[in-house]
């Protein structure tokens, strides 16, 4: 009904054919946008390589890296591997669950220190308890950021200040 197109418009991947996209003033001209798609791309590399995608500046601040791993619950997972952050995930990362991949995607987005964070069904592969914990951590730690959740999950919708729904024709219904 248009959710992906909406995200593409928000992130600037598409330009509107008519109308405009407007953000609150404090977020205008902000280049720090974190986007986490439903399907998180994982490369055949280590955890750390998948988190920074070659941009080593993102992981220079070890305290902030640790905070991002803690917020997403990824720290506990990484600590179960003997090589930790240097563990190679392997071809198509077959040894990771969908939820673990999503945690990597969220942590990757957080490393950009986003002022606008867009999550497109980015926790749907997590169990309910983990999903609640990650969402609550994001809302708490990034309260100065604009967080946009694209979700069908009613418990996530209840945590949001505003809800925008799309009908079957792709028209926006604001609640």
What mean pLDDT do residues 120-129 have?
92
pLDDT band at 7 (very low <50, low <70, confident <90, very high): confident
Is residue 9 over pLDDT 60? yes
More reliable by pLDDT, 135 or 20: 135
Task: Give the whole-angstrom CA distance, residue 73 versus residue 103.
Answer: 7
For 95, 126, 155, 157, the CA distances from 111, given in Å and listed in that order, are 24, 21, 26, 25
pLDDT in tens, 31-88: 678 899 888 999 989 999 999 988 889 999 999 999 999 999 999 999 999 999 999 9
Active site residue 60: no
Predicted structure pTM score: 0.88
Would you state the pLDDT for residue 77? Answer: 95
CB atoms within 10 A of CB 11: 14
Q: Which of 49, 121, 128, 141 is catalytic?
A: 121
Is residue 29 over pLDDT 70? no
């Amino acid at each position: 009904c248009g959710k992906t197109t909406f995200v593409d418009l928000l992130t600037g991947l598409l330009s509107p054919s008519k109308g405009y996209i407007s953000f609150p003033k404090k977020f205008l001209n902000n280049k720090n946008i974190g986007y986490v798609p439903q399907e998180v791309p994982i490369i055949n590399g280590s955890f750390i390589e998948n988190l920074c995608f070659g941009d080593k500046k993102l992981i220079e601040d070890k305290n902030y890296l640790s905070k991002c791993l803690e917020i997403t619950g990824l720290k506990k997972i990484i600590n179960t591997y003997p090589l930790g952050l240097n563990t190679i995930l392997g071809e198509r990362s077959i040894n990771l669950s969908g939820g673990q991949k999503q945690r990597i995607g969220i942590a990757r987005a957080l490393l950009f220190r986003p002022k606008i964070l867009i999550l497109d069904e980015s926790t749907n592969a997590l169990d309910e308890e983990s999903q609640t914990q990650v969402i609550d951590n994001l809302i708490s730690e990034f309260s100065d950021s604009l967080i946009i959740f694209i979700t069908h999950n009613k418990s996530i919708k209840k945590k949001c200040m505003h809800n925008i729904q799309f009908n079957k024709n792709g028209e926006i219904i604001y609640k």
